[in-house]
Amino acid sequence: MAYEVTLIRGDGTGPELAEAARRCVDATGVKINWDVQEAGIDIMEKCGTPLPESVMESVKRTKCALKAPITTPVGTGFRSINVHLRQALGLYCCLRPCKYYPGVRSYFSSVPVDLVIVRENTEDLYAGVEFEQGTEECEKVFDFVNQMSPNRPIRSGREETGISIKPISISGTERIIKYAFDYAVSHNRKKVTAVHKANIMKFSDGLWLATCRKVAEQYPQIEFEDRIVDNMCMQLVQKPELYDVVCLPNLYGDILSDLAAGLVGGLGVAPGANIGDDGAVFEATHGSAPKYKGLNKVNPTALILSGMLMLRYLGENAAADKLENAVAAVIKEGKDVTYDLKPDRNDPTVVGTQEMADAICKAMN
């Protein structure tokens, strides 16, 4: 049996990472027919869009994609392709395991960090309901808000204010917290922590928290607790070993998943998955690092481990274990790893992206 999988090569260092990850997944022995697609800044110059329709058609057909990093311009330009894919394909769950592998440089190397971030992917401030400062629409929203909330007015001028709206729904919250509990059950995890700011945002985060508590009643075998988001940041830094599965709304999940990645050595070792009812896209947590494009320098671990998550999604657990064990062995040995995984980043034995992938393939064989 061969699986149909879309491989989105991305831009910046994306194509190098995609090649490394594809070779490692293939080396597990699982048969995959890769449908290679282009997206990002590079293809925009040719097609006039960073996300050609052929990419969407491919992912809708295969229902499974491994995506290399894609650059998102800051402040201007097109919106995040990652966000668009999640919303267009209904990928409501962002799953980001944060696990320490011996040999990785980390201040927490003596702490058994092994937690999973479950992030709601389609609502919250990332829903993109925004009104640009100075536009007629924005000023109308400004006036409406002040009329509806005379005791809590926006304390700025209507001509100088940009506005974002934060939608949180019962159905969206139920769906993601149930995913977190089901993940805990199926992966023998013991606890789910819901993160919020319900003490301040009582009608959005308050709804989130109330819904999480109600769903938790359906899973009496799993411990449940909640944490206010700012306290959660401190808790993760002070005692990350106390946490297991952490479920968050979209914005908090984005921020805390990077914090959690920092506990285990950084984004270079942080895989990710975006999962919906009818498909999934697997991607590294980090960006495209365009300044390193073509240098064969960046760490491929995050995208390779994203390939491992993809194999688990496909039901190929033995192959996923094989790949993860090989990654762990290469990192622990510390010989054939990229510069960021060396104690001394100027170590002359540093290898490149493809050479580290070669070592992982060899470890599997």
Mean pLDDT to the nearest integer, 168-187: 97
pLDDT at 115 over 80: yes
- Just list the catalytic residues: 126, 197, 230, 254
Question: Domain check: are 121 and 222 in the same one?
Answer: yes
| Band of residue 73 on the pLDDT scale cut at 50, 70, 90 | low
For the segment 125-146, what is each residue's pLDDT rounded down to a tens digit?
Answer: 988 889 999 999 999 999 998 8
Least confident of 4-8, 35-39, 70-74: 70-74
Q: In the prediction, which pLDDT does 111 show?
A: 85
CA–CA gap between residue 89 and residue 8 (Å, rounded): 15
Provide, rounded to the nearest whole percent, the portion of the chain with pLDDT above 90. 78
Q: 115 φ, ψ to 5°?
A: -120, 165
Q: In the prediction, which pLDDT does 262 show?
A: 94
For the segment 252-305, what is each residue's pLDDT rounded down to a tens digit?
Answer: 999 999 999 999 999 999 999 999 999 999 999 898 988 999 999 999 999 999
Query: Is residue 175 one of the residues assigned to a domain?
Result: yes
Query: Is residue 102 one of the residues assigned to a domain?
Result: no
| Band of residue 75 on the pLDDT scale cut at 50, 70, 90 | very low
* Domain end call among 235, 263, 291: 263
Query: Is residue 340 one of the residues assigned to a domain?
Result: yes
Domain count across the chain: 3
List the structure tokens of 43: 């293809």
Report CA Rg, the chain.
21
Helix axes 353-364, 14-27, angle to 10 degrees: 10
pLDDT at 76 over 60: no
pLDDT at 215 over 50: yes
Mean pLDDT to the nearest integer, 333-340: 94
Question: Domain check: are 53 and 136 in the same one?
Answer: no
Question: Domain check: are 151 and 175 in the same one?
Answer: no
Query: Is residue 190 one of the residues assigned to a domain?
Result: yes
pLDDT at 105 over 90: no
Q: In the prediction, which pLDDT does 78 show?
A: 54
Residue 200: how many CB atoms within 10 A of its CB? Answer: 11
Question: Domain check: are 298 and 349 in the same one?
Answer: yes
Q: In the prediction, which pLDDT does 161 show?
A: 92
Question: Domain check: are 121 and 213 in the same one?
Answer: yes
Q: In the prediction, which pLDDT does 296 show?
A: 95
For the segment 245-262, what is each residue's pLDDT rounded down to a tens digit?
Answer: 999 999 999 999 999 999
| Band of residue 84 on the pLDDT scale cut at 50, 70, 90 | confident
> pTM of whole model > 0.85?
yes
In three-state secondary structure terms, 36 is strand
* Residue 40: domain span: 1-97+267-365
Question: Domain check: are 170 and 159 in the same one?
Answer: no
Question: Domain check: are 220 and 235 in the same one?
Answer: yes
* Domain end call among 203, 228, 263: 263
List the structure tokens of 313: 């999604």
Question: Domain check: are 186 and 243 in the same one?
Answer: yes
pLDDT at 149 over 90: no
Question: Domain check: are 359 and 316 in the same one?
Answer: yes
- At 347, which CATH number? 3.40.718.10
CA dist 298 to 51, 117, 257, 332, 362, Å? Answer: 24, 24, 20, 18, 19
Question: Domain check: are 35 and 151 in the same one?
Answer: no
Question: Domain check: are 158 and 224 in the same one?
Answer: no
* Domain end call among 263, 291, 309: 263
- At 216, which CATH number? 3.40.50
Query: Is residue 223 one of the residues assigned to a domain?
Result: yes
Q: In the prediction, which pLDDT does 28 show?
A: 98
Question: Domain check: are 114 and 158 in the same one?
Answer: no
Query: Is residue 138 one of the residues assigned to a domain?
Result: yes
